[in-house]
Each structure stands twice: as structure tokens, then as C-alpha cells.
Structure 1
Amino acid sequence: MPEVFPWVRHLTTDELRSFTFELVAALSDAAELDLDSQSEEVIAGWRATARIKADPAEYADARKPTSGDFGPVEVSV
């Protein structure tokens, strides 16, 4: 996996295992059901996790508890 996705070095062993299982399942669905977007979503989600964990300050900030309502969420299509 590190040869294909170098950013996985920022994931824990358990996270890397989860990413691998999710990616294999998504690629299987892509092959069997012609659902290509799911594998892209798995990769993008785990890459975002690795990006946050790569920066100790950003990771510490992301782990802080939140409270309150942050308002409506806009969904772009």
C-alpha cells in the first residue's frame, strides 16, 4: 500500500487495515456492480484522515471537543 498511497504512513496499523479492507470492498463493488465512485470516496476519505494526522497541530485541533450548532450545511452537487 505505501508504494501506491505514500500518505498511508501517517495512519496507524489498525487504520491502514481498515483502509485496505474498505478499498478492497469498494473495488470489488466497482468490478461487480460498476460503482466507481465508491472507491474514489474511500481513497479521498482516508487521504483526508492521513493529511490531518500528518500535521500534529491540526490533528490536536481536530481532536478537541466541540459544542453548539455550527449552522446549516451546504451540499454541492
Structure 2
Amino acid sequence: MIARVRHLSAEELRAFTLELVEALSDAAELDVDATTHEVIEGWRATARIKADPAHYAEARKPTSGDFGPVQVSA
């Protein structure tokens, strides 16, 4: 993740840092560490998309219509 943070804006990096600190706090105080992984993976995906100009441009295009049912994992 460290190498990819360069693709995040200063505002995004601050948001990531705050979310990560909150998740780590929950992990330490409440023994709930799944959130930490979710925060890191979510921001890693954001940085990965922003690192590739073609993917980032595609992700920013407006969408319309129904994309079908959403699969929810337990």
C-alpha cells in the first residue's frame, strides 16, 4: 500500500489515515480486526484505479441502468 499512496490526493490520504486509525483503535480496544482489512483493501483499490489513467477515466464515467442483483457475502 505504501507505494500506492502516491496516487491518492492529499485529501484522500488524510481520509485513509483517519479511517485506518479508527479501525486500528477498534481492533485494539474491541478485538475487531476485520474492519482494518476492509479499510486497507478499499483504499488499495482506490489507489490502484487512480494509478492507471485509463481505468480511472473509465471509473469516472457516468453510468445508467440496472446492473442486476448484488451478491452479498456473509
Task: Give the TM-score, by structure 2 length.
Answer: 0.94
Measured against aligned partners, the alpha-carbon deviations of 1:15-72 in whole angstroms (never above 9, x if no partner) come to: 0000000000000000000010000000000000000000000000000000010111
State the match for 2:36 in structure 1: 39
2-structure distance, mates of 1:26, 1:14: 18
1-structure distance, mates of 2:55, 2:48: 9
State the match for 2:67 in structure 1: 70
Q: Establish whether residue 50 from structure 1 lines up as the match of residue 47 from structure 2.
A: yes
> What amino acid is the match of 2:60?
R
Give the drift of 1:75.
Answer: 2.4
Gaps of 5+ in 1: none
State the match for 2:24 in structure 1: 27
2-structure distance, mates of 1:6, 1:39: 19
Kindly indicate whether structure 1 or structure 2 has the higher relative contact order, using CA contacts under 8 Å at least 6 residues apart: 2
Q: Establish whether residue 8 from structure 1 lines up as the match of residue 5 from structure 2.
A: yes
Task: Give the TM-score, by structure 1 length.
Answer: 0.91
Percent identity for Structure 1 against Structure 2: 73
Computed over aligned residues only, the root mean square deviation of the Cα atoms, in angstroms, reads 1.1
Gaps of 5+ in 2: none
